[in-house]
Amino acid sequence: MTEPFPADRAAALQRLRDFTPRMGRHYAEGRNTDPGPGQRRDVSWLSPAIRHRLVTEAEVAGAAVAAHGPRGAEKFIQEVFWRSYWKGFLELRPGMWRAYQAARDADRAAIRGNALARAEGGATGIACFDAWVAELREAGWLHNHARMWFASIWIFTLRLPWTLGADFMLRHLRDGDAASNTLSWRWVAGIQTPGKHYVARASNIARYTEGRFDPAGELEEDPAPVEAPPPPRPGALPGADRLPEGPFALLLHEDDLHPESLLPAGARVAAIAGVAVPEARSPLGCSSLVAQGVEAALADGLARAAARWGMPAARIAVTDLPAWAAGHGLPVVTPWAPVGWTADRLAGSGVAMRRLRRDWDEACWPRATKGFFPFRESIPTLLGRLLPDQPSASAR
């Protein structure tokens, strides 16, 4: 039994409504506890929906502020901004994604012995870790605290390369995201904030799993952080494009499936298509659960776009993009695909596209120049700018 993750916007909005009353005190007090599959009442499990923007960060943060005020929902809002911070961090340093891919491939080529197969097969003998592997494979999701323990045990107890753990998670997570996943793994390893690593402790696991697990004596609890160069300095955020004056063809993809709030009223959509390349997450592809989730989200985005602009909306292959673009002869407009596999494949298609960025990303991403704590200081300002309909949004 697992949480019923919302597969489309209607289900995501329903989950948002159901969880909103718990975004304040319940979230702040309960978010670190993982009572196990099907029992989690104090986290939203909205991440697969937010990741595809079946609901947007603005909608989720807006619901939290409206229900609890910016102080009452402070913890929940901060976590939503962690996502925006990681996205911005990678967007300002796209070379980190390429460096991760190169290190992952080198680590896979160099690995010897059975330890990797045992870890991925959930056969390490560490009961909590093996249970999380099974849950990741079956549910396509893990609680945040479990992800932290999982990554820490992978790196420091099993002594496996962090890149291969990040790759394993990415292949199985419904919410798999280039920025949140890569940079969270780096953070656990101690190479995102150099020298500061996250060490999973048996007592912490026992406490926050409410005694479901107690790996006393099984974990390396005094490891040194992984050594690696610090993150590169940030570059400038590449400029986004403007909407053409005349008609255009709209191309949707898994990074942003709410075109209704991206495009202004009166936008002259003249053709619609969608692409998805979930298998491009890794040279080893992705789980069938992940592929199904991405296809369902894309189908929902296309169906809503078709209804909104009154025309058919087709799911096409990336290889068909040049013919589709040439066929209608219109400028192609697409939501900004952040650094990751979709952006890589779209860039490789050879089709010129106008890439639109949301106000949310435009405001948040350039601020991801240093650590999260300086970024966090700007949350009240960001809320005031991004949620202007919430009178108390910018109150400290």
Ligand X SMILES: Cc1cc2nc3c(=O)[nH]c(=O)nc-3n(C[C@H](O)[C@H](O)[C@H](O)COP(=O)(O)OP(=O)(O)OC[C@H]3O[C@@H](n4cnc5c(N)ncnc54)[C@H](O)[C@@H]3O)c2cc1C
Residues that bind ligand X (CB under 6 A): 31, 43-47, 50-51, 79-80, 82-83, 86, 143-144, 147-148, 151, 169, 173, 175-177, 180-181, 184-185, 188
Closest separation in Å from C-beta 368 to ligand X: 12
Closest separation in Å from C-beta 108 to ligand X: 18
Query: Which CB, 282 or 349, lies closer to ligand X?
Result: 282
Place of tokens 């060490």: 199
202: nearest Cα among 188, 213, 216, 185 = 216
Crossing angle (nearest 10°) for helices 74-91 and 379-386: 90
DSSP H helices in 141-243? 144-152, 162-172, 178-189, 202-208
Query: Which CB, 200 or 273, lies closer to ligand X?
Result: 200
What size, in residues, is the chain? 396
Closest separation in Å from C-beta 171 to ligand X: 11
Query: Which CB, 83 or 253, lies closer to ligand X?
Result: 83
Residue 112's region, left for phi above 0, alpha for psi from -120 to 50, else beta, is: beta
228: nearest Cα among 192, 175, 273 = 192
Phi–psi pair at 106, nearest 5 degrees: -65, -40
Query: Which CB, 5 or 336, lies closer to ligand X?
Result: 5
Closest separation in Å from C-beta 202 to ligand X: 18
Query: Which CB, 144 or 369, lies closer to ligand X?
Result: 144
Closest separation in Å from C-beta 146 to ligand X: 8
Closest separation in Å from C-beta 364 to ligand X: 12
Closest separation in Å from C-beta 67 to ligand X: 14
Closest separation in Å from C-beta 105 to ligand X: 19
Query: Which CB, 59 or 218, lies closer to ligand X?
Result: 59
Query: Which CB, 33 or 47, lies closer to ligand X?
Result: 47
Closest separation in Å from C-beta 189 to ligand X: 10
Could you give the CA distance from residue 396 to residue 377 in angstroms, rounded to a whole number? 10
Say which DSSP state 46 is in: -
Query: Which CB, 185 or 324, lies closer to ligand X?
Result: 185
Could you give the CA distance from residue 181 to residue 290 in angstroms, rounded to a whole number? 15
Query: Which CB, 142 or 252, lies closer to ligand X?
Result: 142
Could you give the CA distance from residue 336 to residue 356 in angstroms, rounded to a whole number? 5
Query: Which CB, 79 or 361, lies closer to ligand X?
Result: 79
Phi–psi pair at 116, nearest 5 degrees: -65, -45
Could you give the CA distance from residue 155 to residue 186 in angstroms, rounded to a whole number? 10
Phi–psi pair at 374, nearest 5 degrees: -60, -35
**In sequence order, what are the beta bridge partners of 356?**
335
* Structure tokens given for 54: 């079946």
- One DSSP character per residue, 82-138 reads HHHHHHHHHHT-THHHHHHHHHHHHHHHH--SSHHHHHHTT-SS-HHHHHHHHHHHH
Closest separation in Å from C-beta 284 to ligand X: 16
The burial of 43, by beta-carbon neighbours within 10 Å (0-12 exposed, 13-18 middle, 19 or more buried), is given as buried
Q: Number of helices (H) and strands (E), helices first, in the chain?
A: 19, 5
Q: Assess contact for 258 and 53: CB atoms under 8 A.
A: yes
